[in-house]
A and B are shown apart, each in its own frame.
Chain A
Amino acid sequence: MLRFAQSSSASPANHMDLSVLERQRAQLQRLYHHHHQQSWHDQEKDCFDLLSVVSNSNDSSRTQAVVPKPDHQQCNSSLANREANNVKKRKAEFDVEEDGKEKGVVAEEEKSEITMKTERENSSNTCSKVSEVQKPDYIHVRARRGQATDSHSLAERARREKISKKMKCLQDLVPGCYKVTGKAGMLDEIINYVQSLQKQVEFLSMKLAAVNPRLDFSIDNIFAKEIPAYIASLPAAQFEAANSTCLQYNPMQPGPSNCGVDIAMDRSQMLPPRPGTSSLPIPEAFLDSSCISISLCTLSRTNSPPPPAFKMARTIIILSNIAAAAAEAFFFVDNL
């Protein structure tokens, strides 16, 4: 281990790497200025910095070339012997062992874990299920028994855990995904769900195309509808109930309804109703209709200026004349 540290300090790194090292050092000094282990050797710090550089650079491969491989392997074996599942246990080892060599190894191992924690801090995680946070600034990457603790596999493991977290979030979104375990099955479910949603959009647009020329799509007509009656008639907006409402629409329109029925039936077979999953609460139906009425109200009464973020979009809409808009939609759809 010491040989590795010596080699790292002996080899004059490039200016690029030095700056990276300095950056890493500054960052870590900021984080651990309260740490009581200030009495480390500079060599250990260099070694640790190199490790942190290697572990932090997931995407850039240039710093990985800096670490000399055979020395790294030696570091590996010494680290692998010192694996512990608990940080506290390792700290106890740290206190007990007097040998400077072993102290350095344990500290290194601990530090390699802590660098993974800092890396995790930097990357923002939007998933709500962060169950690994034990302290505000500590996210543990557990090195399990028999697993390598070199920086490459640590980085790889952190990346895999992030991906599995995202997959868990997606599992919440997609209904009926709780049964499936494993990445392949879940990806299949997700793909099926997205395809079914897109087919639903197509089906609904077909329905709208059939309905609209028949009815004058006037706002007063819609306003005149009784909203409470609509609430009573509309079932709770769940996925399987929505299929049944689709089926109800079909007998009213004889024209395009034949293919419509087939699509609705296919969809209901694809996703059998599950009583456990409920996507929306019941008062949502009322609020949605009120939301629609509010939006129609604003449409009819005022030309409310759109927020500045959409000004460009609005000018695009205005500039292209209506025939062009329809034709452009045609092109857009063909290449969707």
Chain B
Amino acid sequence: MKIAKNPHTNPTSIKTRFALRFLRAIDKLNNNNNIISTPSPLNSADRRRRCRAIRAAAYASMAFAVGPNKAWSRAVLRKIRNRTKEMIKPRTRRGAVRGTINPRNELGLGQEKELRELVPGGEAMDFRRLLNETGHYIQCLRAQVQVMRKILHYSST
């Protein structure tokens, strides 16, 4: 079992890496907006688009910060690369591999299916691995929320 380093004293922790990438992404988005459009997009469509772009940038930078070690981050990175490639040359999309849902785990409420939909890349995993990935995904989501909150606090004061 890996000994967990203290993420606050470790300069290469996931939080630091995520923060770096996320800030870079936001900078790029800001520069893009300043170059192309008016400095203050007041209409709701622009704001919504910007919000979605920032959210996507957050997930992408978290996946990049985690690296290809985990199945869910690999799934997110794969999605990003497929989107990028599809923009350059349109390609037919392959269907996702559906893992068999074990009837012993299925409690009749569709929870396992719901969990597979929530965690990226969760369709093609067995239940035990799905639980592993969920644990790591929860940790990374929590770190992401904390960093974003801090950035928001810094930029608003």
Contact = CB atoms under 8 A, between A and B. Distances in A.
B32 A326 contact: yes
Interface in A150-185: 159, 162-163, 166-167, 169-170, 173-174, 183-184
Given A197-B145, A207-B152, A328 B135 contact: no
A329 B60 contact: yes
A184 B111 contact: yes
A211 interface: yes
Interface stretch (A26-34, A81-89, A106-114, A281-289): A281-289
Nearest to B15: A291
Interface stretch (A16-24, A69-77, A213-221): A213-221
Contacts, number: 225
Given A187-B107, A210-B47, A333-B52, A325 B152 contact: no
Contacts of A310: 64, 67
A36 B129 CA distance: 39
A322 B144 CA distance: 23
A204 B49 CA distance: 14
Given A184-B111, A190-B134, A331 B141 contact: no
Contact of B155 (A208, A294, A295, A328): A208
B155 A205 contact: no
Interface string A229-240: 010001001000
Nearest to B139: A173
Interface residues of A, number: 84
A288 B146 contact: yes
Contacts of A159: 128
Contacts of A213: 30, 33, 39-41, 50
A332 B56 CA distance: 7
B124 interface: no
B26 A208 contact: yes
B54 A292 contact: no
Contacts of A265: none
B50 A166 contact: no
Interface string B120-132: 1000000110011
B154 A298 contact: no
Most buried by B among A208, A249, A294: A208
Given A201-B145, A291-B8, A320-B84, 17 more contacts: A126-B132, A163-B128, A184-B111, A188-B109, A194-B138, A201-B59, A201-B148, A204-B149, A208-B54, A217-B30, A249-B156, A287-B8, A289-B150, A295-B19, A328-B87, A329-B60, A332-B79
20 contacts: A126-B1, A126-B2, A128-B1, A170-B131, A170-B138, A193-B138, A194-B118, A194-B141, A201-B58, A201-B144, A209-B53, A217-B155, A222-B154, A288-B8, A295-B20, A299-B20, A323-B36, A329-B56, A332-B60, A333-B56
